[in-house]
Structures are given as C-alpha cells and as structure tokens.
Structure 1
Amino acid sequence: MRRVCLTLPTNRACSETISAVAEEAAYGARRFGVEVHLLVLDSSEAPVLAGHRATVAGLPPVPGVVVHHLDETEQRTFLREVTAASGVPEPERVLDLLLPSRVSYGACTDRAFLIAESLGCASVHRRDSDSRYQSRSPSRAPSGHPEDGGPVFPIHHELTSLGRLPADVAGRVSRIRLDPACADRPVAMVGGSFVGEMSVDVEEIRRLDPAVYEDVIGLSVPDGYPEIWRRNLIAESFRGAGTTPFTRDLSTLTSVSPTRVDMCNIAFTSEVYGRVPLPPATDTIGSDYFLIHLVHDARLPGVLHNRHIVNFHTNERRSDAGFLAYHRRLAKFFLSTPYFSAVYDRMAAAGAELLDTDGRVRADAVAGFVRDSTRLDPAENIERLDVVDRSYRKLGGRYAGAADVLAAERGRLLDEARSDMEEFALLIDAWGPLIRSTKSVKGITW
C-alpha cells in the first residue's frame, strides 16, 4: 500500500487544527486507499503540549491512518540516531541545524522529510497551525461524492497527481499549461495558496503609510525588475489567493510559479525532498520556500489547484512579543533575499541541467550555487537594514521600538544572513547520507 505523510509542525496551541488535519488524513485514506501517516511535530511549551497530547489521544481510530505526535525530545532522539548512522562530519552540528533552539521554518519541515523517509512514505504533505480549511455546500458537491460537501481538502489534488506522469494526470486536471518537453517527468509538486489574512503582519504598515509600505515590501523584490513588474509584485506580496471563496475545483498541470503557492498548502514527492533539504535558517520567514523554486527552475511538472487554505493570525502574533518576533523574522527575510535571488537566478539559468540523466535533482549543483551566493557584497544588506530603520521610525509607536531592537542586533543579523547560506550548503552535502541512514533507525517507535 502506498504510504504518504501529512505533517503539521507547530510551536503553539492548535488543537482545533490538529483535529481538522486528522479529518483530512481520514479523507485521504478513505478516498484514495493509501496509508496516511499523520505526523505532528510539536515544539510547544509543556502546558500546550499536554493539551495537544489529549487532542491526539482523543482522535477516533480510522482505517488507513497512523498518527505520530512527537515532542522535541522524541524528535531529537530520532535525529541523533540518524546523524550518527549517516557518518557525516560534525554530526552534532548537523543535529543543531535540524533541531535549532530558535524557530526555523525549514528545519521543522526537514525533520518531517527525514521521518517520512524512515516510514517509507512516497510524499510529504505540509499544513500549518494557523490555518483552516474552506468548506463547500452540499449543493455544490459532485454527484456520488457526498463527502465533498464538507471541508475542501487539498490532499485530494495532491494524491490525484503526485508522482504520476503528465499523460496520466492530463485527464484528472481542469487544464494543461505544461511544456511538452517536460512530459517525460513525473509530477513532483502539487500546491495551492491561502485566502484570508496576509501571511505576515504588514497590513498595518499599508494602512499607516502606503509609501512606507512600498519601500519596505519592495525589499522582497529582487533587483532588476522593471518598475511595473516591481509594483505588481509589491501589491501581490504576502496576499496569497486573496479573499475569493472556493466554489468549484480548478487545477492546472503546469510549471508552478513560486508566487502562486504557499507552504501551508503544499506536497512534494520524495524524489524532490530526498535530494535537497530546505534551508535551516532561523528566524527567517520565507526560507522554507526553496524547494518550490527548485521544482520550478528544474522544469519539473507540478499541479496548481484552488483548494486554498484559510489563513488567520493567532493571538500570539497579535501580542507585543509576537509583533517583535515576526518583524525580526521579516527583517531576516529581507536580508536573505539577495542570497536566495542569486541562487534562484543560477538555478533558472541551469534549467533542466539541474537534473541528472535519470531526471533526479543534482544536489551538488545546488550546493555549489548556495556556496557561491555567500560571496555577495554585504553592502546591499546594509542598505536594506537602513531602509527598514528609516521606515519603521517614520511609522513610530511599536515600529520605532522594533527599529531600536533591530539596530541593536544589526551586526548579528548581517552575519547570520550569510552564515545561514553557508549552513544550508553544509546540510545539502550531508542530506544524501542522512536520507539513506533513515532506513537503519526503523527500530525507533513513537
């Protein structure tokens, strides 16, 4: 039986989301006859963790669904076994990259990739703790499928297409926009976006001062874009699929643009994440989007769908501490942009040359591009921090307070933006041995 991993990384209270994702797992097992491993990777504090354990314990048993709820101690035990068995140099350093003490959007998903490999899964399907599913009224449900009258689960399109050749998917999607030259490669990624609130806390900036908003969000746009494209990208940044609710399925077999999908609504085959991990950068939003770019630039087929997830901001994100944490992570994202843009440019230029003769991603080529990016002149990032500082002080209030904090951390932030890329290259080098070593630690039970 085909096994897949539906994963929910979290570091905050999300019992409602856990229950909802469990329903999606049940839908996938029932509808597609697969074995779904629901993997909750929990980095929450003890009281929240206890609540999650109670939620997981109360989930009804479902044929074809296996639930794993791992706290950080359990995750570390697994990772220590994997790194030791892999024979990689500096295993403790690699372990720290995979399970850092600070928030890392890439590292939490890398852990899911490794655990999925150890479980024999063919794909990983990721969701986020601050999201919900849309619903469709029974009157719009396709005949013969009454379950479609409830939540709109993205796993429907993911299990329909992932790993299949385009010829086998063509009759299962709404339309085809795929270059025929890519027809001999299986679908590597299926994704949608989100509707509802913006993915980061910048809407207030736009309300306070649209000009400042353009200056700040413009830092997310790589240099060299024509002004009209730049303005469009700024207008669309962090907004997902807008606010239009789901009414009917629309799926496209295509080379999926990284701007059209979100990591709360994504699935990859093991042929992708088994070759290259996500960047383990800490406190950096957007660092976990790397594989989306890799799939696109390597010209691997994908499916874009409109079963968008509903994004919302938790109470923690609305607190003063949450505000500061997210704006620090936003600043780190702006500082990472030149490095990632340099890598993405190289990958786009390489195109299908990123693949070996068997159609697999050449991890060594990707690692080389990442290492080369660390030679960039840091002057651009110094100016980026200057823009953030001027903009936030103009806004005043808690933005001025955030500017003070970022100014005090200026040197560290600049150094980390470069060292994050160096560590990413190191992890890519170690990834192959780590993936292979997962097969030798199946004795660990959760």
Structure 2
Amino acid sequence: MRRICLTLPTNRHCPETIAALGAEAVHAADHFDVEVHLLVLDSCGPADHAAHADAVRRLSAHPRITAHHLDEAGQRDFLARVTARSGSAKPELLLDLMLPDGLSYGACTNRAFLIAAALGCESVHRRDSDSRYQSVDGRTVFPVHHELLSLGARAADAAGGVTEPVRLPDDLLGRRVAMVGSSFVGELSVDIARIRDADPAVYHDVVSLWAPEDWSAEQKRALVEESFAGAGTEPFTVDRSLLTVVDPMRVDMCNIAFHGPSVSERVPLPPARDTIGSDYFLIHLVHDARLPGVLHNRNIVNYYTGERRTGPGFLAYQTRFAKFLLSMLYFHFVYDRMADAGDALLDAHGRVRPAAVAALARESTGLDTGENVRRLDALDAAYRRLGGRYAEFADHLAGRRARLLDEARDDMADFAVLTEAWEGLVAAAGDTPLTRPPGRSR
C-alpha cells in the first residue's frame, strides 16, 4: 500500500481548512488503496496553534489516516537531526534555509517534502490555508481524486484515467506522471486587484514587470491579461482532465501534487524569504524537463484574509511582491536554460538531475543587476502615481533598494546550495524519526 502526504502549511488561523483537509484525507483513503499522512505545519502563535490542535483532534478517525500537527519547535527538532546526519559540512546553514527567521513559501513546502520522506510517503499533495474546496450538488470535489488516479504511474498507464485525448509525444509515454495539478477560482492569487481597480494602466505597468525585459509590448500585454487570474470564476460542473506536459500558467501551488522519486526528492523549492512565487519552481522544472503531468479542473476557491490589508500586513505583502519581481531576473535565466536543456535535465531513470539545476541557479547569480535597477525605478514611479499608501510604500522601498537587489541575488545562491545538498537531506530524512522517542531530550 502506498503512502501519501497531504499537507497544509499555515501561518494563519484556519481550523475550518484543517477540517476540510481531513475530509479530503478520508476521501483518499476510502476511494484508493493508500495510507494518508495528514500533515499540518503550523507557524502560528499559541492561540491559533491551540485552535488548530483542537481541529486536528476533532478529525474523523480512520484506520489508514494518521494526522501530524507540528509547531515550529517540533519542525526545528526534526530538521536539526536531519541536517546533522545529512553529511553536509554546513548543517547550520541548511537548517537556516529549511526553517528561516521569516516567511518563506518555498521553505515551508520543502519541510513537507523532507517529512514525507521520513514517513515513507511516495507523493506530496499541497493545499493552502486561505482557500477552500468547491462543491456541486452537495458533493465536495477533492483534487486528491485526480492526483491519485495518475501520480507516479507510467504515462501510458495513466492515459485511461483522464477524460480528454492525450497530448503527449509517444517518446514520453514511458515516463512517470510527475505532477498533477489544477488552479483556483475566485480572487487573484496575488493581492493586487485594488491596483487594477484604482488604475488599470498602473496595474499593467506593475504586472508587466515580471516579464523578461526584452519582451515585446504585445507579449507583456498578454502576460498581464492572464497573470494571477487562475481559472477565472467559472464554477466546477463536471470533471475534465488532460495528460500532457503541463503549462506552468495553468496550475497553482494551492492545488498541486508531486511524485517524490521523480521530482520533489530530487530538487527542492527555492528557500527565498519574503518572496511571493518562490514556491513555483518545480512546476517550471517539470514542464521544461518534459515530464508528464495531469491537468484537471477541480479548482480550489482562493480568498484573502484581512491581515495583509492592515498597515503592517500591506507593507509586508507589497515587499514580498516587489521581491518577486526582482527574483524574475534570475528565474527567467534559469527557466530559459532549462527549456534549452530539456531531456538533459533527466538521468537515465527519468528523474531530475539536481546538479544540472544547481549549476544553472549558481550561474544566474553572476547576472548584471541593471535590469532589476530599472524594475525598481518603474515600480517606484507606478506606486507614486497611485498615491496614498502606495506612495508611502514607494518611500519605504527607496530606502531598501541596495539591500533588496542583494537579497534577490543571494536567494538564488542559497537555492544552489540547498539543491546541491538536497539528496543528502532526503536520504537522512528517510532514516530519521519524525519525533523523538518518549524520554529523549532535544
């Protein structure tokens, strides 16, 4: 019986989401021959952590579902033991990259990848705490259903489990399905709709900054139109699924599953701090390496909590968005070269080669930062045109320009370091108990 890890990283109050995740776990166990490890990685304060612990205790008991609720102290204890036995000469650095002092979208999912390895799970299925499942005719439509139909199977064998004609070249049918995903409906995935509503021209100028600088005006306009919109607003009515090399723009990290041996046990996500979009790298890697995937339409509903629209929340969120724009100088370089490499990104067993990815990430750190200087200039001008709190944010950004430029470059260097150490970390995690035996001190 295969084991899977259904995970929810969270830093916000979300007992209802935990209850819904429990229902998805039951669906998986009742409909497939799997053992489900439901993993809540909790970075909340004491009050929210206690509410989450209560939500976990209230989950329906099932003989093939095991729930794990780890606060950051528990996560750190596990990671400290893993990094210490990983064989790395710098275990303290790896620990800092896995559990940094600050928000990291990539690092929280990397922790799930290592814990899944410790639990013997073949795949990781990630959800987000600011989203919910759709329902039709009183029935909740869980993404895990499509994920378990195909993930890890040879593409030729998975073809019978999708609803649409297969769009894969014959030479890819022997490869395993590395990723199954869908997108979201509802609010934009990045909280900038208020910019669009206030001034569509400024919205275009801001969003187009994540395109390569040398793209044409037409290419940038097309990118702006589809950016951050997910699957739009159309509700689910009937299942549709497609076996293909999945377009990264069609899936979202709130609704994704990776086959560990093919991808997530081979290469981690970039551990960049305070950077939106840093957790989307593997979606691009799967595409550029021509690994089969399944795209389905059980889209999750995205919504926003109020925190990011408070004064401190607004400042923090806009900083993460600015850092996302700066990160694209490096990611576009890596994506372009991964696309050129194609099958050369894989080993003889059809698995991603970490060394190839690490080399590209390290090479990108030598890029001239002039393009990012111009990005900051354009972002500053756009936010000052908006005025109000956006102009105030531009003042804040102006005082951090040099630091932000350095951080964007250093984040890619950190990614190269972590990728080089990843196989050792995964192997160590496989030999490390998630929690210490009773009576063993930390």
35-44 or 408-417, which deviates more: 408-417
Q: In the alignment, is the contact (CA less than 8 A) between 1:85 and 1:440 conserved in 2?
A: no
Q: In the alignment, is the contact (CA less than 8 A) between 1:33 and 1:64 conserved in 2?
A: no
* Whole-Å separation in 1 of the counterparts to 2:198 and 2:232: 21
* Whole-Å separation in 2 of the counterparts to 1:297 and 1:217: 24
* Whole-Å separation in 2 of the counterparts to 1:445 and 1:227: 57
**Identity level (%):** 61
User: For residues 142-291 of structure 1, what are the structure 2 equivalents within 5 Å?
Assistant: 149-175=138-164, 176-271=166-261, 272-291=263-282
> 1:113 is matched with which residue?
113
Letter in 2 for 1:37: H
* Whole-Å separation in 1 of the counterparts to 2:183 and 2:305: 19
Are residue 301 (structure 1) and residue 314 (structure 2) matched?
no
* Whole-Å separation in 1 of the counterparts to 2:15 and 2:172: 41
Give 1:317 shift: 2.1
206-215 or 92-101, which deviates more: 206-215
**TM value normalised by structure 2:** 0.97
Q: In the alignment, is the contact (CA less than 8 A) between 2:78 and 2:434 conserved in 1?
A: no
* Whole-Å separation in 2 of the counterparts to 1:83 and 1:350: 31
User: For residues 25-424 of structure 1, what are the structure 2 equivalents within 5 Å?
Assistant: 25-137=25-137, 149-175=138-164, 176-271=166-261, 272-424=263-415
Letter in 2 for 1:151: T
Q: What do residues 248-294 of structure 1 show as CA deviations (whole Å, max 9, x unaligned)? A: 00000000000000000000001201110000000000010000000
Q: What do residues 407-437 of structure 1 show as CA deviations (whole Å, max 9, x unaligned)? A: 1221111110000000000000110110111
Q: In the alignment, is the contact (CA less than 8 A) between 1:6 and 1:125 conserved in 2?
A: yes
Number of residue pairs the alignment of both structures matches? 435
Q: In the alignment, is the contact (CA less than 8 A) between 2:7 and 2:124 conserved in 1?
A: yes
Q: What do residues 200-242 of structure 1 show as CA deviations (whole Å, max 9, x unaligned)? A: 1111111111111111000111234343332111111011000
Give 1:442 shift: 2.1
Letter in 1 for 2:14: C
Letter in 2 for 1:168: D
Q: In the alignment, is the contact (CA less than 8 A) between 1:200 and 1:326 conserved in 2?
A: no
* Whole-Å separation in 2 of the counterparts to 1:236 and 1:323: 24
307-316 or 163-172, which deviates more: 163-172
Structure 1's unaligned 5+ residue stretches are 138-148
> 1:428 is matched with which residue?
419
Q: What do residues 163-217 of structure 1 show as CA deviations (whole Å, max 9, x unaligned)? A: 1111111111012111222111010000000000001111111111111111100
* Whole-Å separation in 1 of the counterparts to 2:434 and 2:186: 43
**What is the SS of the residue equivalent to 2:135?**
coil
Q: In the alignment, is the contact (CA less than 8 A) between 2:115 and 2:434 conserved in 1?
A: no
Structure 2's unaligned 5+ residue stretches are 438-442
Give 1:318 shift: 2.4
* Whole-Å separation in 2 of the counterparts to 1:443 and 1:336: 33
Q: What do residues 71-106 of structure 1 show as CA deviations (whole Å, max 9, x unaligned)? A: 000000000000001110211111000000110000
Q: In the alignment, is the contact (CA less than 8 A) between 1:106 and 1:279 conserved in 2?
A: yes
Letter in 1 for 2:51: G
* Whole-Å separation in 2 of the counterparts to 1:98 and 1:443: 15
Letter in 2 for 1:231: R
Letter in 2 for 1:156: H
Q: In the alignment, is the contact (CA less than 8 A) between 2:53 and 2:69 conserved in 1?
A: yes
Q: In the alignment, is the contact (CA less than 8 A) between 1:250 and 1:306 conserved in 2?
A: yes
Point out 4+ residue stretches in structure 1 off by more than 4 angstroms. Answer: none
Give 1:445 shift: 5.0
Give 1:443 shift: 6.5
> 2:440 is matched with which residue?
none
53-62 or 426-435, which deviates more: 53-62
Q: In the alignment, is the contact (CA less than 8 A) between 1:258 and 1:293 conserved in 2?
A: yes
Give 1:404 shift: 1.3
Distance 1:54 1:413, change over 3 A: same
* Whole-Å separation in 2 of the counterparts to 1:294 and 1:160: 22
